[in-house]
Structure 1
Amino acid sequence: MKKGFIALAVVVIVLVGFVVFIQNVNLNRIGAEQYYVQINQDGKRIEDKSDSGQKYVSYEYTLEGFDSNGKEKSLTFTASKELRQDAYLRVYVKGNDVSSYQEVQPSELPGQAKQKLDGAGK
């Protein structure tokens, strides 16, 4: 009886841990290449309607991104709001499509990418 209770408790703990892990993981980032960009231009405003007729606005950005080795790639992606000027982003790329992004601090940029981004702005 005691062994059964311990086994059940272990299974419950593992399941709870798995659920918490899945909720905190952005599946769009798994298996994606990482590039770094700096927002140095305004996004192109795009107005559209959903199937239900509701209007929405997004902003399209086309920027040069650099991976941790300094390899350059042109990246196009949309955001639901205008992004902050001069912000650095880590952009997740699967194939040729941007699947996700997040703002990062300058100290989080890999050396080669930071060097290229600092040189690109001049």
Structure 2
Amino acid sequence: MKKGIITLAVVVIVLVGFVVFIQNVNVNRLGAQQYYVQINQDGKRMEDKSDSGEKHVSYEYTLEGFDAKGKEKSLTFTAGKELRKDAYLRVYVKGNDVSSYQEVQVSELPEQAKQKLEGAEK
């Protein structure tokens, strides 16, 4: 009986831990390379219709990104809304595909990436 209760407690703890992990961690960012971009152009508006006829609008961006060492890579990704002009993004890349992104402050940019992005503005 005691072993059963201990086993049940361990299973419950693991399940609760898994749920907390899934809610707080974006799995699209795990194992991804990080690049930094600046939104310096308007996104290309793309419209699509679902099978039910509902219209979906997204915006496609193709920008030059830089990793923490300043290595350049052309990145294409979509967003569900137009992104703020001049915003800096940390872009997560798996293989050649962007899996996620998040806005960051200029103070969060690695020095090499910051230099390249500031040089690209001019």
TM-score, length-normalised on structure 1?
A: 0.89
Partner of 2:43: 43
The residue identity in structure 1 corresponding to 2:116 is: K
Q: CA deviation at 1:10?
A: 4.8
Give yes or no for the alignment of 1:66 onto 2:57.
no
Report the AA paired with residue 25 of structure 2. V
Aligned twin of 1:77? 77
Deviation at 1:56, TM superposition (A): 1.3
Instruction: From the superposition, tell whether residues 9 and 42 of structure 1 become closer, same or farther in structure 2 (CA, over 3 Å).
Output: same
Write out per-residue CA displacement over residues 65-118 of structure 1, whole angstroms, 9 at most, x where no aligned residue.
Answer: 000000000001110100001111010111111111111111111111111111
Gaps of 5+ in 2: none
Give the secondary-structure state (helix, strand or coil) at the position aligned to 2:82.
Answer: coil
CA drift at 1:13: 3.0
Structure 2 match to 1:93: 93
- Once the two structures are TM-superposed, the CA of residue 14 in structure 1 deviates from its matched residue by 3.5
SS at match of 2:113: helix
Unmatched tracts of structure 1, length 5 or more = none
**Superposition deviation, residue 53 in structure 1:** 1.3
Between 1:20-29 and 1:76-85, the stretch displaced more is: 20-29
- Match in the other structure for 1:55: 55
Please tell me whether residue 112 in structure 1 is matched to residue 112 in structure 2.
yes
Structure 2 SS opposite 1:42:
coil
Q: 1:26-37 to 2 correspondence within 5 Å?
A: 26-37=26-37
CA-CA distance at 1:47 after TM superposition: 1.3
Which residue type is aligned with residue 73 of structure 1?
K
- CA RMSD in angstroms, aligned pairs only: 1.6
Aligned partner of 1:20 in structure 2 is: 20
CA shift for structure 1 position 5: 5.2
TM-score (norm 2): 0.89
Supply the distance in 1 between the matched residues of 2:42 and 2:80 (Cα, whole angstroms): 13
Alpha-carbon distance in 2 for matches of 1:39, 1:56: 22
